[in-house]
Amino acid sequence: MGFAVAPVIATQSAAYAAARSSAFSGPAPGQVTCSYLAKVTFSSPLTSAGGGAGTAPVKGKLSGCTATSSGITISSGKITGWFTGSPVTCNAALTGAPAVFALTWKGKFYGRGAKFSGSSVGGGSAIGSFGGPASSGVSAPFASSVSPGCLSKRGLKKIELRGTVTLGTPVVIIPVTPPPPGSWWTAPSGNLPWQWYLAGPLSLGDTTQMGLTDKLPNGSAAPAPVVYDIDAIENPASTVAQLHARGAHAICYIEVGTAGTYYTAAQEGIGTSYYDQLSAHGDLGATLKGYPQEKFVNITSPSTVSIIEAMIKQQCADKGFDAVETDLDETYNNNEGTTGFGTFTQGQEQTYLVTLADYMYSLGLGWIAKNLDDTGDNFATIMEPLADGIVSEQCNQYGTCGQLSSYLANNKAVFNAEYNLTTGAFCASDNAMGINGALFNVALNGPRSPCR
């Protein structure tokens, strides 16, 4: 989506803010499996004649936890609760008794200390951290540890029991590999002057919109842009052709995680607007905060994929653009707000973006990712092998520029837009890293102050 007032401007997402916290607290996604060593108290005591008819309280520690969510490490934890029947008998046979457990966790979230919210486990499912299916296993104790107590007059009151507990749904992480060799444009690292204009159709005769009157921090004239990132729908093929005639490349700005009522079907040049198509298929969810005309799309829906792909072909490929910038491409974990479709997982987002990127490549278009560094995890690095470059907003202000190093290391351009800092506060750092930084007006309506 492009629109004539102002683009969606990234702010520090809730996930990113939480990840930067020194004491992250919240639910942990994915699946975890832990070993436990616990003391079990039997009621009544076990004897050779029976016992253990009541609940058997459990209290112990977790160890050796492995999580399927990338970046999550469980360093320690506790397990409390009870078996609703004795987990063992005096002949050391397992009974398969169901369990009700509460688990607490301590660990790290992408290298930062974390105290994840607890989990309640019972009836084959878990809620809280690692919500989803749950199961527990009990290792049969040695007969030598059971028999003496069973044979005593008082019976067996307590025992140490080992086992495993698994809860949650695994995170599906699909492979992200470089695309096969193709003929599309890839944005190389290094000094690549760029202009980002989304306030309407680009006027080739307007020197401000074209970025031809800008100054560098030292007051000298800035080089003319060689890359223009402009709206997909508002700019015709003739504008793209004229940019090419000037020796510049054109990036096609679209939104893939939301859709808005900003254009009519006639303006889009199709029979039914993309928004109305998505609505008809039930693919529109909650409203994007701050943009009442804009709603999240269901990134797991095949019809969403088909409609967005049609937009890419009609508005980007058919107009001759060189690459596509995908905005709102990190709506998983509610990074941009509640979507209305539950919580998309990182794996679902990966599947969506890989599908779209592969389609772009089949049309001869490059893929320029957007703001993957503001999700509070390593998503930018995960997706780097597939992307041809990335646009970041305010990576200096929010301290995320370092997450883009893999792009620079692999000769891929990083375009950074700052809105609230002075060029003196970030240009030296961007220049040193090889980032194409610039100070923009938040409306992206022409004025800019590039770093180099």
Query: 4 in a domain, yes or no?
Result: no
Domain count, the chain: 2
Select from 135, 150, 168 the last residue of a domain: 168
Query: 11 in a domain, yes or no?
Result: no
Query: 21 in a domain, yes or no?
Result: no
Task: Give yes or no: residues 128 and 89 share one domain.
Answer: yes
3-state secondary structure (DSSP) of residue 435: coil
pLDDT in tens, 251-288: 999 999 999 999 999 999 999 999 999 999 999 999 99
Mean pLDDT of the chain: 89
State the pairing for strand pair 112-116/119-122.
unpaired
Q: How many other CB atoms sit within 10 Å of the CB of residue 116?
A: 25
Q: How confident is the model at residue 5 (pLDDT cuts 50, 70, 90)?
A: very low
Q: Residue 418 has what pLDDT?
A: 98
Task: Give yes or no: residues 145 and 209 share one domain.
Answer: no
Helix (H) or strand (E) holding 16: helix 14-20
pLDDT in tens, 189-232: 999 999 999 999 999 999 999 999 999 999 999 999 999 999 99
Q: Residue 66 has what pLDDT?
A: 94
d(CA 290, CA 304): 23
Q: How confident is the model at residue 44 (pLDDT cuts 50, 70, 90)?
A: confident
Q: Residue 6 has what pLDDT?
A: 30
Query: 404 in a domain, yes or no?
Result: yes
Note the helical H segments in 62-174. 143-151
Q: How confident is the model at residue 182 (pLDDT cuts 50, 70, 90)?
A: confident
Query: 7 in a domain, yes or no?
Result: no
Task: Give yes or no: residues 144 and 253 share one domain.
Answer: no
What lies within 8 Å, CB to CB, of 342 at 6+ separation is none
d(CA 20, CA 264): 41
Asked whether the predicted pLDDT for residue 143 surpasses 80, the reply is: no
Q: Which residues span the domain enclosing 57? A: 30-168
Distance (Å) of CA 319 to CA 156, 240, 274, 344, 363: 80, 7, 17, 32, 12
Burial 182-221 (b: 16+ CB within 10 A, else e): eebbbbebeebbbbbbbbbbbeeeeeebbbeebeebeeee
Q: Residue 17 has what pLDDT?
A: 42
d(CA 23, CA 245): 54
Reported in sequence order, the residue ranges of 245-317 that DSSP labels E, i.e. its strands, are 249-255, 258-260, 284-287, 294-297
Asked whether the predicted pLDDT for residue 4 surpasses 70, the reply is: no
Residues 69 and 170 sit within 8 Å (Cβ to Cβ): no
φ, ψ dihedrals at 424, nearest 5°: -65, -20
pLDDT in tens, 312-350: 999 999 999 999 999 999 999 999 999 999 999 888 999
* Lowest-confidence region among 69-83, 373-387, 401-415: 69-83
Q: How is 193-252 classified by DSSP, letter by letter?
A: -EEEE-SSS--TT-TTTTT-S-B-TTSSBPPPPSEEEEETTTS-HHHHHHHHHTT-EEEE
What lies within 8 Å, CB to CB, of 217 at 6+ separation is 423, 424, 427, 449, 451
